[in-house]
Structure 1
Amino acid sequence: MIIKNNTVIYAMDKNNAPVARAKSGDNIVFETLDCFSCSLTSEDQKLGGIDFNKVNPATGPIYIEDAKAGDVLKVFINKINLKGSAVSVAEPGFGRLGERVSESKTRIIEVENEKIKFQGIEFPINKMIGVIGTAPAGEAVNTGTPGDHGGNLDCKEITEGVTLYLPVEVDGALLAIGDLHAAMGDGEISGAAAEISGSVDVVVEVIKDFKYKTPMIETDDKFMMLASRENIDEATNLSLANMAELIMDKKGLSFEDAYILMSLAVDVRACQIVNPNVTMRAEIKKDLLR
């Protein structure tokens, strides 16, 4: 099943009409626009000239027929294909150091042979998904804001070969995906990564009786608990609380012993610190929990 990028949403909303239906186990390809809806195509164009009602488009949503409220949607990311060049910006007031930006600047970034070329600097791409989520049960959440439903997580670990677990808050889940990046460092400091169009090939599976109700990533060698809240402290504490639950469940440890193990072996990292909610992650190697 291929979902074209002419069917996009700008808010994760239980009232969004699904553009297609799928079943647990199905393969779906989402064709995506970049986060600016492909409106910045020249370095002469500036961020202030775009339509901010069309930022962070997410392709979909897809109704997963087997998914019921309270389930978890397991999304295996099989392949990410990038299309064309990327674009990024520096804008006064935008990002973590926006007060130091004196002029609006747009850069078109060459993406070729699995490499990024920027201002004479060349390095490997790290393609990833910025926006991926389900519909929240409550009020609609714009696609620029992350939360327990997923959304604009901007986590560079959401890439090929990993599994993302997303809570299902409404029947059908209403999965949508967009905002691909050709490269991004942890934090997304300026507020924009190497924003690019492309497509994402995923396999969806509905999981019943899954305890962890905020986004979780499973890689070949790690579990990562993601949390998005208004500030770094709240997001960090929630990611760690969820990690403690994972450790206690898998190893049968008391909270106190899990807490000590976390201090010995868990890494805390920023996904992004520039969106309306901050997203943090706690990581542990799977070998420790076998």
Structure 2
Amino acid sequence: MEALACESGVYYEFNKNNAYTKKVASGTTIKIETYDCYKNQIQSEEISMDAINWHEINPATGPIYVEGALPGDILKVQIEKIEIGSQGVMMVGPGLGVMGHRIEKRVAKILPIREEKIIFNGIQIPLNKMIGVIGVAPAGEGVSCETPGAHGGNMDNKMITEGATLYFPIFTEGALFSLGDLHAAMGDGEVGVSGIEVPGAATVTIEVIKGPTIQHPMLENAEVFTQIASAQTLDEATKIAIEEMIDRIVEKSTLSLEEVTMLMSAVGQIEICQIVDPLMTVRFVVPKWLLEELGIELI
């Protein structure tokens, strides 16, 4: 199995001009190590906030050049395994997240992880290991690793976990895939701007799909297929996700636009991924039993 250590290359912007740190064939399984979103700078609750380099936030490990990947293709990324460190960190502060207008100082909290539980003031929180930042290089200007978009990026979608498969539109030769910002747990919304941030490693299988195209990332697991979208507002992101899913089902099935819209109103679910990044991210979730009933595959 291939491997990529975080020391091999990290960056803070998804950009088609980034020099790749590794080249792999389509179908490769690779273990990618990551720093936490603070680049492992916070090891104590007593750390001075002035001691942190705030330019080194949300580092992504990579990028990885995938042979045969061309603009218009799809990059399929199967998440095989997520491994995390023995402690996580959270932080809140003025201007951060939903409550930032009422919080007066930055506060960090170190959280031990023991026996598949995160310890928070004696409260045992179940693990929900997931990847916050994951994606490919965008078509135009570079995009900060703090920002989500059509390329993926900082989607902070708790469904990006073991057993999930992501699909990304490819905008540049080689795709230039990377990931980072692992969480031991994170709630939908990530309302305080920080999940339980951890260093670790994600093992993924990367494959180029020729033929079909998509505009924004999609995700599937054993139960559902989802359309992910990011925009300036939740309203705008929601409309993009719903419309792209409906259009895709209309294209793949024999149903009319009106009929698919009815079905989506009956069984589709719009869910929030995060509301604290420069763009808001949602997912529109469709149960796989419906796709089986229709006899279609979305990719």
Matched, 1:141 2:104: no
> After superposition, where does 1:166-245 map in structure 2 within 5 Å?
166-245=168-247
Separation in 1, partners of 2:213, 2:257:
17
> After superposition, where does 1:97-136 map in structure 2 within 5 Å?
97-136=99-138
* Structure 1 stretches of 4+ moved >4 Å: 46-49
Q: Is the 8 A contact 1:73 1:173 kept in 2?
A: yes
Residue identity over aligned pairs, in percent, reads 44
Q: 2:249 aligns with which of 229, 247, 250?
A: 247
Separation in 2, partners of 1:216, 1:252:
22
Matched, 1:283 2:285: yes
Q: 1:86 aligns with which of 85, 88, 96?
A: 88
The AA in structure 1 aligned to 2:60 is A
Deviations 1:226-246 (Å, cap 9, x if unpaired)? 001111111111011111123
Relative distance call for 1:185 and 1:48 in structure 2 (3 A) is farther
Separation in 2, partners of 1:260, 1:67:
37
TM norm structure 2: 0.95
Deviations 1:195-253 (Å, cap 9, x if unpaired)? 00000000011011223221000101100100011111111110111111232133322
Following superposition, the deviation at residue 48 of structure 1 comes to: 5.5
Following superposition, the deviation at residue 175 of structure 1 comes to: 0.3
Deviations 1:243-270 (Å, cap 9, x if unpaired)? 1123213332211111111110001110
Q: 2:36 aligns with which of 20, 34, 37?
A: 34
Secondary structure, counterpart of 2:44 in structure 1: coil
User: 1:4 maps to what in 2?
Assistant: 5
Deviations 1:44-78 (Å, cap 9, x if unpaired)? 12556421211000000000011011101000000
Matched, 1:96 2:98: yes
Q: Is the 8 A contact 1:28 1:203 kept in 2?
A: yes
TM norm structure 1: 0.98
User: 1:259 maps to what in 2?
Assistant: 261
Secondary structure, counterpart of 1:122 in structure 2: strand
Q: Is the 8 A contact 1:47 1:89 kept in 2?
A: no
Q: CA RMSD in A?
A: 1.1
Secondary structure, counterpart of 1:102 in structure 2: coil
Secondary structure, counterpart of 2:85 in structure 1: strand
User: 2:69 maps to what in 1?
Assistant: 67
Q: Is the 8 A contact 2:112 2:119 kept in 1?
A: yes
Q: Is the 8 A contact 2:136 2:175 kept in 1?
A: yes
Relative distance call for 1:286 and 1:250 in structure 2 (3 A) is farther
Secondary structure, counterpart of 1:238 in structure 2: helix
Following superposition, the deviation at residue 102 of structure 1 comes to: 2.5
Relative distance call for 1:197 and 1:259 in structure 2 (3 A) is same
Secondary structure, counterpart of 1:279 in structure 2: strand
**Which shifted more, 108-117 or 263-272?**
108-117
The AA in structure 2 aligned to 1:142 is S
User: 2:295 maps to what in 1?
Assistant: none
User: 1:152 maps to what in 2?
Assistant: 154
Q: 2:270 aligns with which of 268, 271, 279?
A: 268
Relative distance call for 1:96 and 1:47 in structure 2 (3 A) is farther
Separation in 2, partners of 1:49, 1:274:
24
Relative distance call for 1:236 and 1:115 in structure 2 (3 A) is same
Relative distance call for 1:214 and 1:27 in structure 2 (3 A) is same
Q: Is the 8 A contact 2:130 2:161 kept in 1?
A: yes
Following superposition, the deviation at residue 139 of structure 1 comes to: 0.1
Q: 2:15 aligns with which of 13, 16, 41?
A: 13
What 5-or-longer segments of structure 1 have no aligned partner?
A: none
Following superposition, the deviation at residue 148 of structure 1 comes to: 0.1
Separation in 2, partners of 1:89, 1:48:
14
User: 2:296 maps to what in 1?
Assistant: none
The AA in structure 2 aligned to 1:189 is V
